[in-house]
Amino acid sequence: MSRGSSAKRFRLTGGGSAPGGSSSASNAIKDDPALGGSGPSLQEYLGDSTGAIPEFPEVEAPAGTSMPAMCTIDDLDTFRSIYREHCETFLDAIVNLEFATIETLWREFWRTQEHSNGDECEEEKYLSKTKLFMLSKFKPIQDFVKRVDFLFYQNLVQVLIPDVLRPIP
């Protein structure tokens, strides 16, 4: 899966660097000769990532469930869409051995930090921070995230540790 495979992607602030502008730990992994030389040689130990993004179920709001204030059924679909994009970006970071960016991706999706550069995250175009927080308290969204995360993280284990008996440098 290439980084440009989706028109709507999250962008890392700071160009993929670790907070503070220093080079990411993943670049150290890729460039350390003691760890195998270059990124591609380490990436060959990863499993197949093509099936790591699970089929995303619909967000199921049982009949009679009241939506959070200011939220609509369309917002549930929007959340589903941006959460999928978030998972795709997360997977891209894993496959490219950019482990230092994982926390940044998580914080940017859930908007737990202010952006010092003044740029809005791309996902804010799709769902306001207020709606995101209101939806995150909505039980059907919590169940959706739990289901998807269980599937996705199990698939990530298969990408990171595809063959436990294969020697790794």
Residue pLDDT tens, the chain, 169 long? 444 444 344 444 444 444 444 444 445 444 544 444 444 467 776 767 777 778 888 998 888 889 999 999 999 999 999 999 999 999 899 888 898 999 999 999 988 766 544 444 454 557 899 999 999 999 999 999 999 999 999 988 888 888 777 676 6
The C-alpha atoms of residue 97 and residue 39 are separated, in whole angstroms, by 8
What is the model's pLDDT at position 123?
43
What is the model's pLDDT at position 125?
57
Classify residue 31: in a domain, yes or no. Answer: yes
The C-alpha atoms of residue 79 and residue 126 are separated, in whole angstroms, by 8
The C-alpha atoms of residue 25 and residue 18 are separated, in whole angstroms, by 8
Segments of 17-122 assigned E as strands: none
Classify residue 146: in a domain, yes or no. Answer: yes
What is the model's pLDDT at position 149?
95
What is the model's pLDDT at position 158?
87
Classify residue 100: in a domain, yes or no. Answer: yes
* Structure letter (DSSP) for residue 54: P
Classify residue 147: in a domain, yes or no. Answer: yes
Classify residue 80: in a domain, yes or no. Answer: yes
The C-alpha atoms of residue 76 and residue 79 are separated, in whole angstroms, by 5
What is the model's pLDDT at position 114?
62
pTM over 0.95: no
Q: For residue 29, what are the domain limits?
A: 23-53+70-160
Q: Are 86 and 109 in contact (CB under 8 A)?
A: yes
Classify residue 123: in a domain, yes or no. Answer: yes
How many domains are contained in the chain? Answer: 1
Classify residue 62: in a domain, yes or no. Answer: no
* Structure letter (DSSP) for residue 28: H
Encoded amino acid at 147, one letter:
R
What is the model's pLDDT at position 72?
92
What is the model's pLDDT at position 68?
93
